[in-house]
A and B are shown apart, each in its own frame.
Chain A
Amino acid sequence: MRINCPHCGERDYKEFRYAGDAVKTRPALGDADLRAWHDYVFLFDNPKGAHREYWQHVLGCRQWFVLERDTATNVPGRTFRPRERGSR
């Protein structure tokens, strides 16, 4: 699998580290609802198909970004900087 880092271009996947589901939204700081925090931290949709996830280019620019990837085929799609329009 080759991933297109938004800063460095296409590189082999082993330069990167998978860092989890980017679809989930963290509850607001100060949110006292433990159920919301539990669901955010521990539960996953874990889809078989289109997914949106954080990766870090650990052996490159060390930047975090969002990658679209199909988990059923491993075909990687677009990448976004975390706050870029369309990253969510």
Chain B
Amino acid sequence: MRDRYSALALARHAMTGAAWPRAWRSAEPKSTYDVVIIGGGGHGLATAYYLASRHGITNVAVLERNHIGSGNVGRNTTLVRSNYLLDGNTQFFEYSLKLWEGLSHELNYNVMLSQRGQVVLGHSPAQMDVLARKGNIMRLNGIDAELLDRGDVQRLLPYLDYSTQSRFPIHGGVLQRRAGTVRHDAVAWGYARAASALGVDIIENCEVTGFRREGDRVTGVATSRGPIAAGRTAISVAGHSSQVAALAGLRLPVESHLLQAFVSEPIKPFVNHVISFGAELFYISQSDKGGLVFGAHIDGFNSYTQRGQFQQVQTAAECAVALIPSISRLRLLRHWGGIQDMTPDGSPFICRTPLANLYFNGGWCYQGFKATPAAGWCLAHTVANDDEHPLVRHLGLDRFERGNGHDEYALGLWTYRQ
């Protein structure tokens, strides 16, 4: 039923004028599935695809309350990278980046991966030491990293502020050339299309309203479109993890916070890399349409509103001008907010839960988009085997009671509140 996308297919459709078929089937919910995945975001769709393609489990439903692509998979700043410090994170995100590198071919869908390179700037000798350590850790794990001095950065990014008045002088940076951006909508559509072709039912406008349980075993879900029995059920709804988990009687180490992103009016190609400011949580890249895309910090208090406060708009604009003074007259065109799970240690969860046959993926704190392929890969493994994938053994819900918080920035718990 589906056309394989290729130059030949494009030519054939152009010549004959034949309409392209729908990319994925609009499925009606059946009464029972082997696996039900709650949440049709990037992670949920990726999980369904890997369950079908790698574990041979095709009797799978993805339940989405809204429509595919309406949540955080379309609300991020599209960056992918693997420059992490802690054992566990380093390997997980590198695995994710390797999956990104093969994803367009894997899915027969162009996700427009652009490995334009990411530079993290250092603004003091001490910060350069930290970046050197980070780069060394990456290289010891077989990941590309290059330490840049001030001259290197100036040759690569000549438009930054190198003047003597600069509040945060640029001492250098660390470059990961394989990092870059991905077209985020294409990730949702590509996974949906590939999963659907393997027999997965993608069911939109279907909200989960409760869980069916027999003792401590989850046997299905109640939804706005009727009850569905499930052999195994996975929650992958980051932003609203607490609400869905509460339906199963679980409380999570998660608070929901708002993260904004911003796009300027479009300009000619100018910023050819992803640049992370070292003096504040701020980064910038340029989209294919020409808009400069800014990402910044969370708004600072728990919220589900999906719209931001003005203070972060101002902070992001100040960072942008501090970094690149020449864009001071550029106007912001749009800004939007996504709701994300924040966890005590800034690390996510991919794990079993205290209830049998119920699995949880969430708590992604800023980093959910770049994790999409690996999160789907590892959650599919966890669901199929009823055991955590080796890459995510350290990401269990019980890590705080065991004293094993996984704190990437080594600043202590709750740093997102400070």
Contacts and interface: CB of A to CB of B under 8 A. Distances in A.
Interface string A44-80: 1111100101000000000000000001111000000
Contact of A46 (B256, B301, B400): B256
Contact of A44 (B253, B303, B311): B253
A27 interface: no
- Max count, chain B CB within 10 A of own CB: residue among A38, A46, A48, A71: A46
A88 to B, nearest CB: 19
Contacts of A43: 251-253
Interface of B: 240, 242-243, 246, 251-256, 300-305, 309, 311, 344, 400-401, 417
Given A13-B309, A14-B311, A48-B240, A42 B302 contact: no
B401 A34 contact: yes
B400 A44 contact: no
B242 A42 contact: no
A8 B180 CA distance: 47
Contacts of A14: 309, 311
Given A19-B417, A34-B401, A35-B401, A48 B243 contact: yes
A17 interface: yes
8 contacts: A17-B300, A35-B401, A38-B401, A42-B253, A46-B255, A47-B242, A72-B305, A73-B305
Given A18-B301, A48-B240, A1 B251 contact: no
A1 B243 CA distance: 24
A32 to B, nearest CB: 15
B251 A45 contact: yes
Contacts of A71: 256, 302-305
B304 A72 contact: yes
Contact of B242 (A34, A45, A73): A45
Interface string A8-32: 0000011001111100000000000
Interface of A: 1, 13-14, 17-21, 34-35, 38-39, 41-48, 51, 53, 71-74
B417 A38 contact: no
A67 to B, nearest CB: 10
A31 to B, nearest CB: 15
A44 B300 contact: no
Contacts of A74: 303, 305
Nearest to A17: B300
Given A35-B401, A38-B400, A46 B254 contact: yes
A46 B302 contact: yes
A44 B305 contact: no
A41 B400 CA distance: 10
Contacts of A53: 301-302
A21 B254 CA distance: 12
- Max count, chain B CB within 10 A of own CB: residue among A1, A39, A44: A44
Contact of B304 (A42, A45, A48): A48
A26 to B, nearest CB: 16
Nearest to B253: A42
Contacts of B311: 13-14
Given A42-B344, A48-B304, A18 B254 contact: no
A47 B240 CA distance: 10
B182 to A, nearest CB: 29
